[in-house]
Amino acid sequence: MSYPYLQPPYTLYPAILMFVDEARIRVEAGDGGRGCVSFRREAYVPRGGPDGGDGGDGGSVYLVASRSYRTLDDQTYQRHYRAENGAHGRGKTMHGRRGATLIISVPLGTVVVDDETGELLGDLVEDGVQLLVARGGKGGRGNARFATSTQQAPRYAQPGESGQKRRLHLTLKLLADVGLIGLPNAGKSALLCCISAAQSKVAEYPFTTLTPHLGTVEIDSLGAFVVADIPGLIEGASSGVGLGIRFLRHIERTRLLAHVIDVSDTARDPLEALSVIEEELRAFNPELLERPRIIAANKIDLPHDRHLSTLRALCAERGLPLFPLSAMTAEGVQQLVGHLADRLHGNTRRDAPSVEPEIQLRGA
């Protein structure tokens, strides 16, 4: 099947091929500067006393969530990060400069785990949130700090403390409201391109989409929501078959699942297709089957009566909302989009909204 509104070239979007959702990095905070041993020496000041300054604190390392980043690609190429050391103290009670704080930007949805202990350090899901992952060492005190009435000329100072060092395991889980799931070539990417400005590759062979894609659907009357196209779900995916479990974790943050099924007469039996995906979700995380779900019966622009009637009977029996549609001609897509927006914005009705959503579909 061809999609005339989604023809190549796709060379304008090379970054889509470099989706990195996992990385391991080493972070080192800066060491604190050492304190100074010094005595005041000036003309006509015979009893100057100690004047050694303190060392500066070492710089700390923070991870910050940023909407400007989509993948962990930067952390793949640079795996070692080190903050600046604090400067040493000097005479005349001059304190050392603090080491500069190191900020590492990561995409929203990054889960940070200590790679050596397995401790969960943070889950960065809000833009601008900072997470301290390595604290800088404290600067040592100079000998001026140790002068007392009984020890007026101390000849020692403190060394600076070492900065914290850690190995981190970063995992990205996409933040999306709706997750499009289904067998390969069911039309998930075509549907995403139809309802948003996403540029997923669409072709007639399975596994055309090798990385997840996000698209934002904006509707004036019903608000906006984010849809994720999750590739690679086939029988055995939860145990590593095909693209394996690499992308299954991206479904965990979605609020609603849209199961796209090819109902054309030449496609796989829709009941079998539904069962395969449900078993993989159950094997990966049984809680996913408790999430709100709708069925998108795709490719009704092709002969479909036999498969669609079978799927309609099953959805009626199980209480699953069913939306027959064609991602190629955009038939029925308006009703699906309106229902998704209605469900996501607080309305729990299972029928389509009474007001037709005002959205410009790419395939219309």
Sheet containing strand 130-134, edge to edge, reads: 102-107, 61-66, 130-134
Q: Does residue 2 sit within a domain?
A: no
Per-residue model confidence (pLDDT) at position 346: 63
Q: Which residues pair with 110 in a beta bridge?
A: 124, 172
**Structural domain boundaries, residue 55:** 22-172
pLDDT for the residue numbered 198 = 59
Non-local (6+) Cβ contacts of 69 within 8 A are 105, 106, 107
Residue 91 lies in a domain: yes
| Distances from the Cα of 354 to the Cα of 206, 218, 296, 316, angstroms | 36, 18, 19, 20
Q: What is the pLDDT of residue 341?
A: 87
Contacts of 27 (CB under 8 A, 6+ apart): 61, 81, 82, 102, 104, 133, 134, 165, 166, 168
The pTM of the full predicted model, rounded to 2 decimals, is 0.75
- What's residue 149's pLDDT? 87
Residue ranges of the chain with per-residue pLDDT less than 50? 1-17, 203, 205, 348-357, 363-364
Domain count, the chain: 2
The reported pLDDT for the residue numbered 245 is 59
pLDDT tens digits, 223-270: 688 888 887 676 655 555 555 556 778 888 888 999 999 999 888 899
CATH of the domain at 168: 2.70.210.12
Give per-residue pLDDT as tens, 6-42.
333 323 233 334 578 889 999 999 999 999 999 998 8
The CATH number given to whatever domain includes residue 211 is: 3.40.50.300
* Whether 198 and 337 share a structural domain: yes
pLDDT tens digits for range 214-236: 888 877 666 688 888 887 676 65
Q: Count Cα neighbours of 139 within 13 Å in the Cβ-side half-sphere.
A: 28
The pLDDT value given to residue 233: 72
Share of the chain above pLDDT 90, in %: 46
Give yes or no: residues 252 and 301 share one domain.
Answer: yes
- Is 1 a member of any domain? no
